[in-house]
A and B are shown apart, each in its own frame.
Chain A
Amino acid sequence: MAAGTEFSPVEVPLARPRTLLVGTAFATGAAAMFFAALFSYYFSVRNDTLAWGAEWFPEGAIELKPGGSLMSTFAMAAITMAWAHYASIHEDRTHGYIALGLTALLGIAAVNQTVFYLNDIALPIDHSVATTLLFVIVGAHMVMTGIAVLWMGLVLLRAFGGQAIGRHQDLVISVSIFWYAVVAVYSVIWLFIYIAK
């Protein structure tokens, strides 16, 4: 295509756009809406079921210990992610690697615990509307955790590959935004599904 309308050049200040952060914020918002929808359906159907005097989960089907253990894992992972964030801001690469590695490890542990929990619940997925919703919500959260762990692995690879510190910071902050969303979603699962049932 031929050149369009031409004008004499002007001096314009260049600001570094934080593209990755903004993109991550949009993507995390979309993921949050996915879970918000699932939680809305859960609470809505649960209210209707209880209003009819029907049972939601059978007595004793949902144990507190595995859910609590998972919450502890995610709480620790939130702290190690904050550590990684702090390290990247202060350009402390060594601590950054350790903190990111630990967070990824805790994420893998969380996926492992979730798989154990889903196998441990003595209810089939099609036992009732409640179990279908439980399996979908917990399963979707496990997928979200897996994506976050993979992303952390990518950040670690790029950081080990000598990524510039400025770019590295944006990468760590981006993955931390997503990771905090993972922890926040699990907190809702723990409080309102595992504890309140």
Chain B
Amino acid sequence: MTDTPLETDDATALERVVTSTDANTLGRYWIGAGSLTLLASLVAGVLVALERLDLGGTEVFGSADEIFQFWSAHRVGFVLLAIVPILVGLGTAVAPFQVGSDSIAFPRMAAFSFWTWLIGAGTTVTGFLIDGGLGTPGAGGQRQAIALTLVGLLMVIGGLLGATVSLLTTIVCGRVAGLTLGRIPLFSWTLLVAGTFWLLTLPVLAANAVLAYVDLRGRTAVRFGAEEAIWEQLSWAFSHPQVYAFALPLVGIAFDIAPVSVRSRLATHDVVLVLTGMLGVVGFGAYAQSFFDTPGTPVMNEAIYVVGAFAAALVVLALFGGLVDALRQGVAISQSGTGNNPPAPMILSALAMLLLLAAAVVGALRAVDPFDLLATSATGAQMTLTMGAAFVGTMAGTLWWGDRIFGRVSSQGLGLLAGLAAVVGVLLLGVADLLSGFMGQNDFTGASVAAAGSPDSGVDALNLVALVGSVLLLVGALGWFANGIRRLTGVAAPSDPWGGHTLEWAADPSAVEVASERPLLDALENSGVAS
């Protein structure tokens, strides 16, 4: 394992933490820090959901601008401060070993990227808490604090970009002989596809943020830094279709877990490679911003947006069908002493794919012009379902690879319960917000009935359902976090608890001949042990 000398010298604990360049350790850092910001963003989500119970005034917050700050903080936090970093962490800890490398490429840059992201995340959260955020509709925020939030966001983007470059370079260059791109495990493949689209879209978000920052710091904001216009320029990164690009690795997690769980090969491996590539393409969302509106036709009414929404639904449907087919082909492996119960990660990853399918259907409905859903709470429903699916996918991923990453066992039962709570929470939130959208409730409801849109009487009940969903999602995240804490004090984990097919489960990947996408299964079959 490549590491800095400090880790082997007489370094203090703090020095070891700060200077570590070990992929597994960095992965743990990303997951740990991401889970903390996840809890913070979900608390913000619960508060906003609570506020929505009374659309005619303010109950929890002091003003519409404050509501907006927490509402946007929840979205930014959920996507860029929580789910994407957790996926990066899982990738950093797993992908190098999946391709047979003993370390991540550019380890110092990978470490620097994590610390940059962490400081940026702290700065962003601070910016939101001191009356800043990403602008407000009433221009009631503190300009200096908004500037601070933008600087934090830029650091977050920089950190994520650096980590992505390390990760992608590892997947491309760190592969052992015989492991062609077509044979790499699907989690690594989806990271490669998703990471490529992160590299293509996060710089666009950075360009938006730089423009807003420079304009905001000028004497009078001419356009980009006007406080009531900042969110409009950045919001594309937190809605359809960009969220698909962020959530894409969950597909790889599901397709890595399913065949091992049912002891079979994935007959449709090549098809999944192509479909995930297509999902990456339709998840490119940098064009979906108001700069590119043509007079009279918003970009979201253009053919590319509508066709992309339906293409995403079809691609996800095909992927879900492929997963169901893979699961149908075998019987779930039994865990020690628990009979033939399917493993928790398999159940959660399948449910995550189901949530992604629901998200894609909502995305397609939202693009249908006569429904008039673009500015409604259906936008939030699509984001919640997609990123919620990614969260449930990461829960499955941490249960699956957690023993390998942390070296200690956690409770699969608690993990499953937490995951199920999150699934139910995401579904309640998504369905309630979709139905509210059909009733005309705006995406951001403000602090008056007029600002909330033209809600019918049923919206209040739906907002109550959404609140229950937010609370359940938070409970699920807390359960997942508690399970992670329990893992730190758990007993030592077996090195290969699942009978894995791919190289991360091998003691010495360089000693394995790679002739297919499942080299360990090949080796077992060749040695005469039936899988």
Residues of A at the B interface (CB closer than 8 Å) are 1-10, 12-15, 17-19, 22-23, 26-27, 29-31, 33-38, 40-41, 44-45, 48, 51, 124-129, 132-133, 135-136, 139-140
Contacts and interface: CB of A to CB of B under 8 A. Distances in A.
B203 A7 contact: no
Contacts of A9: 508, 510-511
B104 to A, nearest CB: 11
Interface in B403-450: 404, 407
A124 to B, nearest CB: 8
Task: Please give me the 6 A-B residue pairs with the lowest Cβ-Cβ distance, nearest first.
Answer: A126-B218, A17-B173, A37-B207, A34-B203, A4-B495, A37-B204
B404 A1 contact: yes
A128 B222 contact: yes
A44 B204 CA distance: 15
A29 B169 CA distance: 13
25 contacts: A4-B495, A5-B506, A5-B520, A7-B511, A9-B511, A10-B511, A10-B513, A12-B177, A15-B177, A19-B105, A19-B106, A19-B174, A22-B172, A22-B173, A23-B106, A26-B169, A30-B161, A30-B202, A33-B286, A34-B207, A35-B207, A37-B286, A125-B218, A129-B222, A136-B210
Nearest to A139: B214
B173 A18 contact: yes
B200 interface: yes
Given A15-B177, A29-B200, A125-B214, A41 B207 contact: yes
A87 to B, nearest CB: 25
Contacts of B478: none
Contacts, number: 141
B165 A23 contact: yes
Contact of B215 (A23, A27, A29, A132): A132
Contact of A1 (B204, B292, B407, B511): B407
A2 B202 CA distance: 39
Interface in B266-297: 286, 291-292, 295
Contact of A7 (B165, B200, B493, B523): B523
Most chain B CB neighbours (cut-off 10 Å) among A4, A26, A33, A140: A4
A27 B207 CA distance: 15
B169 A22 contact: yes
Contacts of B234: none
A128 B219 CA distance: 12
Given A34-B206, A126-B219, A45 B176 contact: no
Interface string B211-238: 1001100111111100000000000000
A43 to B, nearest CB: 10
B507 interface: yes
Nearest to B224: A132
